[in-house]
Amino acid sequence: MKKVLATILIFSITFVLFIPNNIVSAAKPHTVNTKIHTYKGQKYVQITGGNQQVKDKINKVLKIYAVKASQENVELKKQQNYFYRQTTSETKFNNNQRLSVVFKDYYYKGGVHGYEEATTYNFDLKTGSQLFLNNVAKTNQQSVNLFDGIESGLRVKKEVFDDKIRNFPLSKKSSFYYYNDGIVIIFDPYQVGPYVAGFIEVKVPYTRIQSNNTLPFLDLTKDSVKYLKQGKLPGFKEISFGKTIKQVSDALNSKVRESYYESGGLFWIFEGWNYASFNFSEESGRLAYVYLSARAFPMKGFDDIEKILGKGTRFESTEYEGEFVLTYQFDNVYLEFTSESPKESVNAIKISKR
């Protein structure tokens, strides 16, 4: 028995000694560390450790940011010697799988005070690829959950403007960083609160983003066209054009909260449905128009919509300055998406049947 055990022990030691180095190293995760560097007065993060190609890829991106900041600072001083741009940087998250770096820029171009902006870089430390909000909220449902989570976070912050609690900027390029249980959204001064409030941050846990939301949303997919042609609203079960106000109320399991006039028509808002308003024809009393806020279809721009529905018609609004429109017609059903820029997220949607 002792001879058998001795033989097994010798074999085990020999096997370990002759394991290829690449297998041994693969079993141990590479440790990535970060350090602050300075380029002509502008701070930026650089990483050490990990895969060499990944390290070089990330470090190049981060240094370029500081170089561009320095160049802009020089140009500002050419305009007035007291104008400037100052960049700081810090590592917000690093778990050897994902890395979050936040740059904060202070610009001064005269006046009582300057203004500040945050720019975030999130990386996959296995590939060096940048990660954006659509890598966190990957489905329409998760995007809506993220929107709702941000709204809930803003609602409890006293410094947030009332009209920004449900109307805040959100796109896949919005600033955020990771923490162990989710992400943190960063809003610049003035975006959702006064300058004195500084940067306003909202935590949204993964559990919130990945939850099953019960409130409907505009769930546009490549199959949506056939539903729209039937007068149905994708994602809104049992709601379709031609329904009476009572039928819509029953479908929403809600009663009318308030009404308002817009564009010559009366629109109704139901309790618990702040992001949607419904217009019923004065002649027939049946559903004719639906207005939806960004909450119903968040983080989507014109390009995203055209990938789903195909090429639409784009133009700049003649009614509202600085508003851009993307429209579709599917038989007698019309979709109209509006945004402040063709490159920014949609801020309102109108669906009508004529």
Express each pLDDT in 148-167 by its tens digit: 999 999 999 999 999 999 99
**What burial letters (b/e) apply to 151-190, b meaning 16+ CB within 10 Å?**
bebbeeeeebeeebbbebebbbbbbbbbeeebbbbbbbbe
d(CA 213, CA 209): 9
Structural domain boundaries in the chain: 33-123, 135-209, 224-353
- Mean pLDDT, residues 234-239 taken together: 87
206 — phi, psi (to 5°)?
-60, -35
Indicate if the pLDDT at residue 7 is higher than 50: no
Q: What is the pLDDT of residue 159?
A: 96
81: number of Cβ within 10 Å: 8
- Beta-sheet strand order (sheet of 84-94): 84-94, 98-108, 115-124
The string of pLDDT tens digits covering residues 82-112 is: 999 999 999 999 999 999 999 999 999 999 9
248: Cβ contacts below 8 Å, ≥ 6 apart: 239, 270, 278, 287
Q: Is residue 263 pLDDT above 80, yes or no?
A: no
The model's pTM: 0.86
21 has a pLDDT exceeding 60: no
Segment 112-161, tens digit of pLDDT = 999 999 999 999 999 999 999 999 999 999 999 999 999 999 999 999 99
224-353: what fold? Pathogenesis-related Protein p14a (3.40.33)
Is the per-residue pLDDT at 13 higher than 90?
Answer: no
Does 231 or 14 have the greater pLDDT score? 231
Residue 269 to residues 38, 259, 277, 289, 354: CA-CA distances in angstroms?
Answer: 54, 6, 5, 12, 21
pLDDT at 161: 97
Class of domain 135-209: alpha beta
pLDDT, averaged across the chain: 90
198-229 residue pLDDT tens: 999 999 999 999 998 777 899 999 899 999 99
Topology of domain 33-123, per CATH?
Heat Shock Protein 90 (3.30.565)
- Residue 234 φ then ψ, to 5°: -55, 125
Confidence of residue 15 (pLDDT cuts 50, 70, 90): very low
Q: Tokens standing for 202?
A: 């909202």
Residue 62 has pLDDT above 70, yes or no: yes
Whole-number pLDDT of residue 143: 95
- Output the pLDDT for position 20: 44
Q: Note the pLDDT of residue 238.
A: 84
Residue 29: what pLDDT? 52
